[in-house]
Amino acid sequence: MRKKSFSKISFLLLATLFMWIKTYIVYKTSFDIKIENFTQEVILFINPLSFLLLIFGIGLFMKEKNRNRYIFGASIFVTVLLLANMVFYRFFNDFLTIPVLFQTSNMGDLGSSISGLFLPTDLLMFVDIAILFWLLKKPTFKSSSQLTRKERSAYFLLVAAVFFFNLGLAETERPQLLTRSFDREMLVKNISVYNFHIYDAFLQSKTSAQRALADSNSLTEIENYVNANRKEPSKDLNGIAEGRNVILLSLESLQSFVINEKLNGEEITPFLNDLINESYYFENFYHQTGQGKTSDSEFIVDNSLYPLGRGAVYFTNSSNEYTATPELLKDYGYYSTIFHANNKSFWNRDIMYNTLGYDRFFDVNDYEVTEENSIGWGLKDKDFMDQSVQHIDNLPQPFYTRLITLTNHFPFELGEEDKLIDEFDSNSKTLNQYIPTVRYMDESIKHFFEKLKETDVYENSIIILYGDHYGISENHNVAMEKFLGKEITPFETIQLQRVPFIVHIPGVTDKEPQTFSKVAGQVDIRPTIMSLLGIDTSEQIQFGTDVFSNEKLSFTVLRDGSFITENNVYTRGVCYDKATGEEADQAICEPYMEKAKQELNYSDEIIYGDLLRFYGEETEAVDADSENTTTEKN
């Protein structure tokens, strides 16, 4: 374009330049995007350009007087979008998706967490906006005339060229980029945070259509897969807890690295360490949650399905058909409840619990909550346990229940009187405070056991404890390195996704406790419970396996597509040797790569297509006309 053309779009170019530099600075300072080589750095640098030129370019269709105002407005919009991602990333280590944005009913309760995430330096994000505002009034930028058609075409041709150059480069670096949609870091790294949002919008419309297009045939392939991978439950333990109550303790943000660990000579989880010596304990057990955090863990535990790659299934698919544990257990006379002292609508729980078949949800209104017995997110865990046991004592038996703790939640606040161990000393306030809140949660679990033992419920129950998801994100790697005394590589990051999984069966595990090192994940919890109760689930569509089964495959896939096997960890496209933590030959991980992707995709298909609504229907069809259906299946 000639010089004159340039002057017509000088304001646009300036706005683009500002936003471009700003985005790159944010990439480098606020997101943890791993760059492995020079090409990747180039891709990261150029990736915001095509989107910015496009969105600002829309102004070129406007009258001169509106054009710069539009560009100014668009700058504010893009800045707010970027800032929203920055703030979200600070805690969740993840980028925003459309379903997450619609989880507005969570926002009100997030109060203390959100305000704690903003930093004074965030205001710097608006420096260029202020400059643009000032320039908006300057005559040099004001009186540029309309672009000719030719000039406009040339402009958009250039935008397209920039975009395809970027995409081409990205595809060579990362083949199949767009089919691995759950790996958001890869997408942002390669096509920019902005184009990622456009892609996310596309996925949103695609998944909305998926339910409408699904029919009972969609389930056949998945059923075949699940049936082919089904394992026999454990021979020794099957039915060992028949007819007993099931009590699940969902332990907020508890990771395995604190188990049997000390700070300044003091155990961080003394009670759990003792309990492990009277229980079955799995030291290589992984959480499999995504953006839905606690609610995702609940979903996995009750359904043995994976949560979604984007958004929280508790919000996006709360009116689906499921065959969750409460529903299955109803046939065996079980009464199902949830205990959680938070607003009932947080994570859309009230709606989802109904869908899953729970009989009763004891929410914040069922607890006596005062200023004295509250901290951070609400009722302190110890008081929560105390009051919950009183309710439990009055439940009809047998029951299936889950207690969801809260005190050990970011920002990990605790009153002086509850600090039973020192804070850690590092540059991360989060990790420092995490240690005493974990210690406090441990104390509250001890209290729970003591109180429960005073009732006649204890002896007739099995108690299963698990960490819901990580508490310390990768943003605190420097502090974690200090704590663990080793470098946090992508391999270690996966190993940090281990959460405790403890199965306590009074009268059984206290006599013969055992620690298992086989690889397992939250998806295995439901089949394990069912097997202990002696309930047959061979008709169910589930992705997990009874952890006590001898046939159980040592394989667990995480929601971002990373997976763990007996000897290896696969993450971010690299295969690692578990024994050394060093890179291993890719071929070793190869056989599991397809399986990992397939499981997640099948589970997604079930949820997006609401396929379980066809389940009974299909079985009936098989009974009525088995020959026909068999032909269809093949």
Helices (H), 305-357: 313-316, 325-330, 349-356
**Could you give the 3-state DSSP secondary structure of residue 262?**
strand
When the beta carbons of 252 and 383 are compared against ligand GP9, the nearer one is: 252
* Ranges within 291-310 binding ligand GP9 (CB under 6 A): 293-294
Residue 384 partner contact from ligand GP9, Mn ion, none using kind-dependent CB cut-offs of 5 to 8 Å: none
Residue 607: which residues within 8 A CB-CB, separation 6 or more? 305, 308, 313, 316, 317, 320
Residue 381 partner contact from ligand GP9, Mn ion, none using kind-dependent CB cut-offs of 5 to 8 Å: none
Whole-number Å distance between alpha carbons of 457 and 392: 8
Site string for ligand GP9, 126-165 (x = CB under 6 A): ----------------------------------------
- Residue 294 contacts Mn ion per CB under 5 A: yes
When the beta carbons of 357 and 376 are compared against ligand GP9, the nearer one is: 376
Task: Name the token pair of 309.
Answer: 């790659």
Count of CA atoms in the C-beta half-sphere (13 A) of 331: 10
When the beta carbons of 79 and 103 are compared against ligand GP9, the nearer one is: 103
Q: Own/partner pairs for 260-266, CB < 8 Å, 24+ apart?
A: 263/421, 263/422, 263/424, 263/435, 264/421, 264/422, 266/421, 266/422
Whole-number Å distance between alpha carbons of 52 and 30: 20
Give the interface size with ligand GP9 as a residue count (CB under 6 A). 8
Residue 162 partner contact from Mn ion, ligand GP9, none using kind-dependent CB cut-offs of 5 to 8 Å: none
Of 16, 23, 207, 294, which is the active-site residue?
294
In this structure, the number of other CB atoms found within 10 A of the CB of residue 238 comes to: 20
Cβ–Cβ < 8 Å for 265, 221: no
Min separation Cβ 17 and Mn ion, Å: 42
What ranges make up the beta strands (E) of 7-78? none
Q: What is the DSSP letter of 145?
A: -
When the beta carbons of 75 and 408 are compared against Mn ion, the nearer one is: 408
Contact residue for ligand GP9 among 288, 317, 342, 444 (CB under 6 A): 342
Would residue 294 show up in a list of annotated catalytic residues for this protein? yes
Q: Is the dihedral of CA 93, 97, 99, 100 positive or negative?
A: positive
- Residue 409 contacts ligand GP9 per CB under 6 A: yes
Task: Name the token pair of 82.
Answer: 């970027």
* Ranges within 242-261 binding ligand GP9 (CB under 6 A): 252
Site string for Mn ion, 459-478 (x = CB under 5 A): ---------x----------
Contact residue for ligand GP9 among 272, 404, 532, 607 (CB under 6 A): 404
Write the single-letter amino acid at 305. Answer: L
- Residue 302 contacts Mn ion per CB under 5 A: no
Residue 302 partner contact from Mn ion, ligand GP9, none using kind-dependent CB cut-offs of 5 to 8 Å: none
Site string for Mn ion, 217-256 (x = CB under 5 A): -----------------------------------x----
Find residue 203's DSSP bridge partners.
Answer: none
Whole-number Å distance between alpha carbons of 303 and 362: 21
Find residue 575's DSSP bridge partners.
Answer: 570
Alpha-carbon separation of residue 75 from 16, 56, 246, 357, 579 (angstroms): 8, 8, 54, 47, 50
Candidate ranges 148-156, 299-307, 401-409, 532-540; the one touching ligand GP9 (CB under 6 A): 401-409
Residue 383 partner contact from ligand GP9, Mn ion, none using kind-dependent CB cut-offs of 5 to 8 Å: none
When the beta carbons of 82 and 404 are compared against ligand GP9, the nearer one is: 404
Whole-number Å distance between alpha carbons of 571 and 561: 7
Whole-number Å distance between alpha carbons of 8 and 575: 52
- Residue 346 contacts ligand GP9 per CB under 6 A: yes
When the beta carbons of 287 and 382 are compared against Mn ion, the nearer one is: 287
Task: Name the token pair of 7.
Answer: 């002057």
- Whether cis (ω within 30° of 0) applies to the bond prior to 411 is yes
When the beta carbons of 91 and 516 are compared against ligand GP9, the nearer one is: 91
When the beta carbons of 252 and 418 are compared against ligand GP9, the nearer one is: 252
- Residue 381 contacts Mn ion per CB under 5 A: no
Whole-number Å distance between alpha carbons of 288 and 298: 11
Residues forming contacts to ligand GP9 in the complex (CB under 6 A) are 252, 293-294, 342, 346, 404, 406, 409
What residues act catalytically? Answer: 294
Residues forming contacts to Mn ion in the complex (CB under 5 A) are 252, 293-294, 468
